[in-house]
Amino acid sequence: MDKKHQKLLLSDIHKLVKILCVEKNTDLSAVSIQMGFTDGFISNIFTRNTTISLHVLYDISEILNCDIHILIPLKKNNQKKS
């Protein structure tokens, strides 16, 4: 997967996390703090990187009390196989 597609995937994950935050009546800053980091940690991961660690996704899913699979978007039919 090239960097462009990695960034698009990370953007989709970011959107899913933000939706879950709204559903759980919280925000990314609160999730970052609960993980033991500064309030901008999660936002920086999504805006400054092309990948995210599964450990971070797992921690987010634990804090938001959801299955980690919910945070991983389904593959779209129009995406190339890598």
The CATH number assigned to the domain holding 34 equals 1.10.260.40
H/E run at residue 42: helix 41-48
- Kindly state whether residue 76 falls inside one of the protein's structural domains: no
- Kindly state whether residue 54 falls inside one of the protein's structural domains: yes
The dihedral built from the CA positions of residue 61, 66, 67 and 73, taken in this order, carries a sign that is negative
pLDDT(1) > 90:
no
Give residue 41's pLDDT.
Answer: 92
Q: What's the half-sphere exposure (Cβ side, CA atoms, 13 Å) at 6?
A: 11
Q: Tell me how far apart the alpha carbons of residues 16 and 13 are, in angstroms, rounded to a whole number.
A: 5
Q: The domain containing residue 36 runs over which residues?
A: 3-70
How many domains does the chain contain in total? 1
Give residue 74's pLDDT.
Answer: 81
- Kindly state whether residue 81 falls inside one of the protein's structural domains: no
- The mean of the pLDDT values for the chain is 90
- Kindly state whether residue 79 falls inside one of the protein's structural domains: no
Residue range 36-75, pLDDT digits in tens = 999 999 999 999 998 999 999 999 999 999 999 999 988 7
- The amino acid that residue 14 corresponds to is H
Give residue 76's pLDDT.
Answer: 63
